[in-house]
Amino acid sequence: MGNAQGLRKLVSLMITSCCGVTDVSLEAIGKVCINLKQMCLRRCCFVSGDGLVAFAKSAGFLECLQLEECNRVTQAGIIGVFSNCGLKSLTLVKCMGVKDISLGAPLSSPCNSLKSLSIRNCPGFGTGSLALVSKLCPQLQHIDLSGLCGITDAGLLPLLQNCEAGLLKLNLSGWLSLTDEIVLALTRLHGATLELLNLDGCRRITDASLVAVADNCVFLSDLDVSRCAITDAGVAALSHAEQLNLQVLSFSGCPGITNKSLTFLKKLGKTLVGLNLQQCNSISTQTVELLMESLWRCDILF
């Protein structure tokens, strides 16, 4: 390490496709780069869970950790990282080595610094892992769990209940098993803070969820219910909400929305800057043209 001075100043580091990086070298990086705040490891096939924990301990100022396709990283490794409690943001993408184990072991103290958690397309991350995370990270505000389709309503509920700070952003796109029950719980628990909700592809979500959103969400500005089981009644409920100020709304791939929604969409459109009606096959081009005429400020995709 000839250029140790430079390494000490390093704040952000990204290591891609580097199978030369081992647990030992990773820990060394943590020790030398004492100011490291952001670390991204992509396709680091030799980094294990233990290596990750050792790194997180040695990198004392680490705030943001992102792991993509690091397939030797385990659930224990992820949980161990939370003991490095300066971490504010953790992202896991396609880490296939994470397997769902319900640990009976006593938990470490909570990681109150973690605000943002993103776990995308890690099929092994299941109900047990989510239960652990919900106990360990009570201050989460941004959660992206898109593509974790193996988890049910019951698996998600503890996480929603344990978020003490109030959720701001939640992305559950692709959760096929999700039902209106959990959206009802979500809006009851976090309707006063929620700004973004993505339920794209949650096919069992119906108008009942939109009624709950309309009744409980005060600050929601971005809503995506594409490919859900939404009909005109749901659009009507949203348009009747008193306090909603939606800016971006996506209904793409909702064949239950028809020409009858024109007046409701016009009403919703007063605050919208973006409206996605792609693949809404029951709405005619003529209806969309009428909508475009009255909503000239809003960008409409059809």
Ligand X SMILES: *[C@@H]1O[C@H](CO)[C@@H](O)[C@H](O)[C@H]1NC(C)=O
Contact flag: residue 287 with ligand X (CB under 6 A): yes
Phi, psi of 298 (to 5 degrees): -100, 135
CB of 102 to ligand X, least distance (A): 26
Task: Report helix, strand or coil for 94.
Answer: coil
Task: Give the one residue of 108, 112, 245, 259 binding ligand X; rule: CB under 6 A.
Answer: 259
CA 124 to chain centre: 17
Contact flag: residue 91 with ligand X (CB under 6 A): no
Strand partners, 64: 38, 89
Which residue number, 27 or 144, has a Cβ lying nearer to ligand X?
Answer: 144
- Of residues 125, 161, 135, 128, the one with CA closest to residue 144: 125
Which residue number, 146 or 221, has a Cβ lying nearer to ligand X?
Answer: 146
Contact flag: residue 58 with ligand X (CB under 6 A): no
Task: Give the one residue of 141, 198, 231, 239 binding ligand X; rule: CB under 6 A.
Answer: 198
CB of 126 to ligand X, least distance (A): 18
Contact flag: residue 261 with ligand X (CB under 6 A): no
Residues 98, 100, 105, 111: is their CA dihedral positive or negative?
positive
Contact flag: residue 190 with ligand X (CB under 6 A): no
CB of 47 to ligand X, least distance (A): 23
Task: Give the one residue of 74, 171, 187, 261 binding ligand X; rule: CB under 6 A.
Answer: 171
Contacts of 211-214 with CB under 8 Å at 24 or more apart are 211/237, 212/180, 212/183, 212/184, 212/187, 212/188, 213/183, 213/187, 213/238, 213/241, 213/244, 214/238, 214/240, 214/241, 214/244
**CA–CA separation, 63 and 8 (whole Å):** 16
Task: Give the one residue of 54, 167, 196, 229 binding ligand X; rule: CB under 6 A.
Answer: 196
Contact flag: residue 120 with ligand X (CB under 6 A): yes
Residues that bind ligand X (CB under 6 A): 120, 144, 146-147, 171, 173, 196, 198, 258-259, 282, 284, 286-287
